[in-house]
Structure 1
Amino acid sequence: MEELLKNDLLSPYVSMLDIDLNDAFSSIKQKEWTADNFKFATAVSVMSSSRIEGETLEVDSYVKHKVLNIEYLPNLTEKPNDLYAAYEFARDNRLSLSNFYKAHSIATRQLLPEAQRGVIRTGNMLIMEQQSQRIQYEAAPASIVKKEFKRFWDELETLLAGSPGTEEIFYYASYIHLVFVKIHLFNDGNGRAARLLEKWFLSSHLGQNAWYIASEYYYYHNLQAYYNNLARIGLFYEDLKYEKTLPFLLMLPKALEIQYKSS
């Protein structure tokens, strides 16, 4: 059976990189690992990811909420705070299937009924763009979603057990993000989970300072490109054209490049 997490675009991906990923990440590796640094970086990541999903609190306001203990109305902070707790859980636990389900359950405490948290959906699903409410794509049909996710996770575990180079790590982190979004495992919270999973994979290979990478912030500030690059590979799950994934895969290195050049 054909792999979901393909390596056939790795060579053109590397040739299209605008920066040396080792050099760019080295500046992040040198940043001191402290509770305050993690809190600030994760507040930015969490609220950026939440904004993508339609939450209304501004990123800088949420940073004030987490770092300076500024209070806002609970309806503005409850869902982001759950996602923040999921990032903390991921920081403190290895990436495994049971821990991934647990992280989703934490992230969706204010989003889904308890019976649906960390539980594979049983119905079909169309994914809509948050801003335009246009159909973006159709997720994996309910009849195959368990099988497709098992394929995906088996391949992910193989990647976790290996020793890929930095370019491969970034390549596969983005590919994992993309394929998980297309499978759309849960009834809700899939986008948040995919962006967390990308970061969790990076930290599994690159160490704890990978949590400082501002990928979610970049996706939020380039939201139309993010949506377009997700959509360009096709509308229907069983007819996806993964050869068109390079524009999406190159967004994560671009996020690192911008962060590196501004540091």
Structure 2
Amino acid sequence: MDETQFEILPVTLVNQHHDQIDDSISAKFADLKDSELSVDSFSFYTSVSAVFSSRIEGENIELDSFVKHKLMGVQFTPDHTQKIDDLYDAYQFARQSALNADTIKQAHILLTSHILQKHQQGVLRTGNMFVTTSNGKIEYVACAPGSLAAELDKLYNDIAALISTQLTIKEVFFLLR
């Protein structure tokens, strides 16, 4: 990975990171199993991710309710589950698709189908975006719209470089840190 050129990903600390990772990580990772609750059409861990990602975004749903909804078909009002269903569908789509600009666009369409108007789905935003705290202070400012296309190009280039690079498990965990 040292010779791979990235536009965004910082790899200067990869060797130091390798020294801190136990060599048994490959065996431990291979021993991981999916939850017994998972079946062909349902993944417990995808549900966990969807619920907790949605809760970070302010959606009010409990994991227990969503698992019952997905696994047992328990019906809730659409506004209670629809956005999380969309996120779950986007996760499942991403899991089964090649990672590139086109599939990221498709995932965005799935993800925003009940959030954004149709003409805003799968396209770059043209306005500023920020996140505020409960008392109105700006906590995070997203990339300026004028820089968004160039920054996404850098991301897509790094993704392509990663896909074409044979990574060790330690390098994978370095990138996930």
Please tell me the residue identity of whatever aligns with 2:145: A
Deviations 1:100-149 (A, max 9, x none): 110110011111111111111112222335x6654223222222111111
How many residues of Structure 1 are paired with residues of Structure 2 in the alignment?
Answer: 172
Separation in 2, partners of 1:62, 1:140: 32
Looking at structure 1, the residues matched to 69 and 31 of structure 2 have their Cα atoms a distance apart, in angstroms, of 27
Q: Aligned equivalents of 1:6 and 1:24: distance in 2?
A: 26
**SS in structure 1 opposite 2:139?**
strand
Kept in 1, the 8 Å contact 2:46–2:91? The answer is yes
Displacement of 1:30 after TM fit? Answer: 8.0
1:118 aligned residue: 122
Q: CA shift at 1:67, angstroms?
A: 0.9
Rounded Cα–Cα distance in structure 2 between residues aligned with 1:27 and 1:64 = 27
Matches within 5 A, 1:1-263: 3-17=7-21, 20-28=24-32, 34-35=39-40, 38-129=42-133, 134-172=137-175, 174=176, 249=177
**SS at 1:137 equivalent:** strand
What is the CA-CA distance between 1:41 and the residue it aligns to?
A: 2.1
Q: Contact 1:39 / 1:66 at 8 angstroms: preserved in 2?
A: no
* C-alpha RMSD of matched pairs (Å): 2.6
State the SS of the aligned residue for 2:145.
coil
Aligned residue type for 1:171:
F
d(CA) in 1 for partners of 2:23, 2:61: 33
Q: 1:20: Cα distance to partner?
A: 4.2
User: Which sections of structure 1, spanning at least 5 residues, go unmatched?
Assistant: 175-248, 250-263
**TM-superposed deviation, 1:18:** 6.8
TM-score, length-scaled by structure 1:
0.58
Q: In structure 1, the residue corresponding to 2:43 is in which secondary structure?
A: helix
The normalised TM-score by structure 2 is: 0.84
Any unmatched runs of 5+ in structure 2?
A: none
AA partner of residue 169 (structure 2): T
State the distance in 1 between where 2:136 and 2:26 align: 39
> 1-side partners of 2:151 and 2:53: how far apart?
25
Paired with 2:28 and 2:132, the residues of 1 have a C-alpha distance of 34
**Counterparts of 2:100 and 2:6 in 1: how far apart (Å)?**
23
Q: Displacement, 1:12? A: 3.1
Percent identity (aligned): 33
The residue aligned with 1:209 is none
Looking at CA atoms only, which structure, 1 or 2, has the larger radius of gyration?
2
